[in-house]
Structure 1
Amino acid sequence: MARKIKPLIYVFCEGESEIEYTKYLKEKFEDVAVIQKPVKGLFEVADKKFKKDAKYRNNAEVTDEIWFFFDVDDGQTGSWDRIQKIVSTLKKLRKKPNIRVRLLMTTGCVEFWFLLHYKKVVPSIQTVAEKENVLRLLQNECPGYVKGDSNTTRKIANHFKQASINGDWVLGQIEGLPTLEDSDVRNRWLYQSSRTFTTVQEAIKFLENLKN
Structure 2
Amino acid sequence: MGRKSKKIKQKPIIGIFCEGKSEKQYLTMLKQKYRSTNVKIEIVDAGLSGKKLVEKAIKSRKHKKFDAVYAVFDRDDHKKEELQACSKLAKTNNVNIIFSSIDFEIWILMHFEPVFRRYTRPELVTRLSKEKYFNQDYSRFKGNSYRSYIFDKVENAMNNATKLYKKNSNWIEDDPFTNIHIYLPRIFDIK
Q: TM-score range by the shorter chain?
A: 0.7 to 0.9
The equivalent of 1:201 in structure 2 is 181
Q: What secondary structure sits across from 2:74 in the alignment?
A: strand
The equivalent of 2:171 in structure 1 is 190
Is contact 1:142–1:156 with CA below 8 Å preserved after alignment?
A: yes
> Of the candidates 117, 139, 153, which is equivalent to residue 129 of structure 2?
139
* CA shift digits 1:30-78 (9 cap, x unpaired): 34x6111323245424524654x6xx53443xx22211111125x2256
Kindly report the root-mean-square deviation, in angstroms, between the aligned alpha carbons of the 2 structures.
2.5
The equivalent of 2:78 in structure 1 is 76
Is contact 2:102–2:175 with CA below 8 Å preserved after alignment?
A: no
> Of the candidates 16, 20, 25, which is equivalent to residue 15 of structure 1?
20
The equivalent of 1:98 in structure 2 is none
Provide the aligned length of Structure 1 versus Structure 2: 176
Unaligned runs of 5+ in 2: 1-5
Matches within 5 A, 1:104-143: 104-125=98-119, 130-140=120-130, 141-143=133-135
Structure 1 residues 4 and 104: alpha-carbon distance in aligned structure 2, compared to 1, 3 A threshold: same
Structure 1 residues 122 and 203: alpha-carbon distance in aligned structure 2, compared to 1, 3 A threshold: same
Is contact 1:14–1:40 with CA below 8 Å preserved after alignment?
A: yes
Structure 1 residues 34 and 171: alpha-carbon distance in aligned structure 2, compared to 1, 3 A threshold: same
Tell me by how many angstroms 1:157 deviates.
3.8
The percent identity for this pair of structures is 20
The equivalent of 1:181 in structure 2 is none
Is contact 2:73–2:100 with CA below 8 Å preserved after alignment?
A: yes
Write the distance in 2 (CA, Å) between the matches of 1:48 and 1:103: 13
Is contact 1:14–1:70 with CA below 8 Å preserved after alignment?
A: yes
